Amino acid sequence: MNPRAIDTTERPFVLIWELTQACELACKHCRADATPTRHPEELTTAEGKQLLDDARRFGEGQLVVLSGGDPLARDDTQELVDYGTDIGLQMTLTPSGTDSLTADRVQGLADAGLRRFAVSIDGGSAAAHDEFRGEPGSFEQTREAITAAKAADLPVQINTTVCAETVNQLPAIRDLVADVEAVLWSVFFLVPVGRGRVLTPTSPKRAEAVMEWLCAVNDEADFGIKTTEAPHYRRVALSGEGGGSPPATPDDGIGRRMGITAGNGFAFVSHRGEVYPSGFLPKSAGSVRSDSVVEIYRDSELFQSLRQPDALGGKCGACEYKYVCGGSRSRAFAYTGDPMAADPLCDYVPDDYEGPLPSHPTTDHTSSTAD
């Protein structure tokens, strides 16, 4: 599947299925507000296979990410990976750094056809990571899981949350990403949902500086970099290439299609089957228990509206980068209740824009930029 050839009005580049909200960890930023036990109304194995059958209708090689909670809190995860692979889906997994990540289980997932293995590192040391994750030993368990994944020839992706509590850890985390020979560093700029409401996002100016730093890292690193809920990284990258008018079909330097945001190239199925534009934009457009995820993605009013950059409000609607960026619709929804409002994390103001600017209700107490 060529990501730059995807028509995001017809199919998402990424379909995430939250298998469960159960997880042994109590991470400070957890979108799912995970609990130790599974919810009785989770999609069953049979319902999950029906969802995967339906997802195949999006087209050849549809990418499906199994997430949580901890997707390995379910005992049918390998079966689901095997089933999805057999019907032609690209199956990937984002497990938690717990003792569920045994070498045998990682090898079993690889044998079932898993395409990529994504784990989180949110600190440059065991102490920093474990404090953020709320579980002593999580860092070492994650490192052991990475070793197991590499032994099973699974490409490894590292996910990192950026907020005021973690931003100074980024240079050390970058070194870890290089050390474990990850193929991709996915950097998530905090959206205050779930337990993440108690954390402090970076200020817009600090976020801009971090994105400029990420662009510099991307120029030199052997791994790719992408951002989550920070599409303005694309603006920063394009500006660093000489500015001017944004191209109509740019990529982000690692062969990915740009312009992918909540509902536009991205869809999320909750553990109970509700279909959201993103896990960070928990507004339901329907349920896979009663409707097709394909029809919900293509035809629902919510998803269609999110694919209309000309309908964006505030400075996002006036921005010349709205077709390749568009701002985080999830963050706009979290702060204003309107997914079409301006993204309050973006520091950029378009020329000649004289309208109101979004407020960002945080103070960044850290002093240095990532360098």
Domains parsed from the chain with CATH numbers = 11-336 (3.20.20.70)
Three-state SS letters, the chain: CCHHHCCCCCCCCEEEEECCCECCCCCCCCCCCCECCCCCCCCCHHHHHHHHHHHHHHCCCCEEEEECCCHHHCCCHHHHHHHHHHCCCEEEECCCCCCCCCHHHHHHHHHCCCCEEEEECCCCCHHHHHHHHCCCCHHHHHHHHHHHHHHCCCCEEEEEEECCCCHHHHHHHHHHHHHCCCCEEEEEECCCCHHHHHCCCCCHHHHHHHHHHHHHHHHHCCCEEEEECCCHHHHHHHHHCCCCCCCCCCECCCCCECCCECCECEEEECCCCEEECECCECCCCCECCCCCHHHHHHHCHHHHHHCCHHHCCHHHHHCCCCCCCCCCHHHHHHHHCCCCCCCCCCCCCCCCCCCCCCCCCCCCCCCCCCC
pLDDT at res. 27: 53
Predicted confidence (pLDDT) at residue 109 exceeds the cutoff of 60: yes
Mean pLDDT of the region 118-129:
94
pLDDT at res. 74: 92
pLDDT at res. 134: 78
Each residue of 214-234: pLDDT tens digit? 999 999 999 999 999 999 999
Q: What is the mean pLDDT of the chain?
A: 87
Each residue of 43-87: pLDDT tens digit? 999 999 999 999 999 999 999 999 988 899 999 999 999 999 999
Each residue of 323-348: pLDDT tens digit? 999 999 999 999 999 999 999 999 99
Predicted confidence (pLDDT) at residue 98 exceeds the cutoff of 90: no
Confidence of residue 248 (pLDDT cuts 50, 70, 90): very low
Confidence of residue 35 (pLDDT cuts 50, 70, 90): low
